Structure 1
Amino acid sequence: MQSEFHTEKSNLGKIKTHLQSDIEKNSTKQAKLQSELADLLKSTKKEILTQANINEKISDFNHDIMESLSNEILLDDEYREWELQFENKTDKEEYLKSLISGVNKEDKLLDIGCGAGELIEYTQQQGIISKGIDISEKAIASCREKGLDVNLSDALIYLSTEKENTYDYVTLIHIIEHIPPKKLRDIFNLVYFVLKPKGRIFIETPNVQSLFTLSRYYYMDSTHLRPKHPSLIKFVLEKTGFRNVELNFSDDIPENFNFSKLDKRSGDVLNEILFSGGGNIYLQGSK
């Protein structure tokens, strides 16, 4: 394993000079995460992480490290600044309220990719037991300044350490578009494992059926990976074991692009082709 770490550092040293300082800062953290994942995979007795696929998962994780570094052109603090330029602050409280519809005060919530902790902060104000995880040091530092219960951790590693039937509600809000397919399947399996019976998963992600979203927003973020079709995500959730999986669309066609105002019949067709239900999709299912 040590030789793999040395190879990793050697590869990192070949990345272009203008990213060197950021890579050096992250290499130690990534190597530590890789080591922790290897230990967890070797010790776990969970059926979904068997000994037979340990080497493959370590290899995949190793590839994810290099892929995430090569895709990221912005530094940690720059990424948040970039995000804020496009954040829709309209009815923020109503949006957060809608996310926890049906969640009770005695429930336990986990927000994977919690970012600045807006959902965690809101749910704690409502008396809900909430925890968040993120791989961004800046985001976690910001959350801790607010006194929020958060951890700096990769989702796969963190979920591997949690006990079965721990949470009532797990959210992944604008996270899965950053995760490679194989790793995402493992995360879905582990979310299912840590959810209590009848516990729920909630996912929000860009609607890649929408040509408008795909061309205008999806590829503006260099950390977004290959688009995943909404129907495919729904199918994988069902195969993971989730029941009553629902797929809904945000239905938020921009007013100045709504072609139905020009001609109802042809406008509706154009809207369907260009927007396909809106900018985001929402998926939820229960254990």
Structure 2
Amino acid sequence: MTMSFATEGPPTPSAYSGTPKRSSVAGLQISPTAAREERAKEPAGVGSPHGRVAREGSMFSLGPATPGAGGAVALSEGFSDEAMRGLKADGARAKGDGADISDLKACGVGCYLCYKEDNFGTIYMQWAENTPANAILWMQPKAPVPKFKFTQNAGRVQLADRVNGGLKFFETISRFVRELMVTYKANKITILSHVENKEVQVLFLKKSNKIFILKEASKSVLYEPDEIEAIGVVPYNNTEFAVMTMHRQLFCDKCAHSGAYMMK
């Protein structure tokens, strides 16, 4: 999401009863079949396998932005329609190497999930007042955040490297979302609109077994953290959750088969 994330370790019991044992990363359930399907990819450039993102450097320098600035963003179905109508966010779509993204606007103060091509794909979180380079996902906390989170190491905490081409990418995103939700009561999440290549969808399972999905760039979901039971991250083209209602065990099984999940 400094946040403490457990590193890879020995298998742990399933997050719910009746589920076959799977290899585990910080509580993430991964099927052996899916793990074997991981494949290597070349280091990503600006058009990374996980979205076309702003890259640090003079060619991709960000212009000034005011927290909360931007046009109205399209909102997906969420938990509070009235509150969601007030959510604002916007961004510029990078079109390739050398693209001018100086008009990139900030989602606002919060924690950003960022991707770089270093080390075969590196994901880190960054606390910032404006949208930083490399940002692909934004969450806004409700709970107070210590000031040093924004200043220590420029607000950055590395979460994982070598994430290209495997389940590790999904695992890292799910850990980020859960940590922000649990520790900082984050209740807003946005996939930034300059992310072109759609790679993932973020799933929220409510205690009522209702599912809300965030998959469209520049769309946001506003939710109540206390109502969430599980978080899933799966490939963008996965259609198994279109039913919008699912029992917890089935939800977790399906997430583990193609991506990752974490119990809140």
Higher helix share: 1
Computing the radius of gyration over CA atoms, which structure comes out larger, 1 or 2? 1
TM norm structure 1: 0.33
**TM-score (structure 2 length as normaliser):** 0.35
Higher strand share: 2
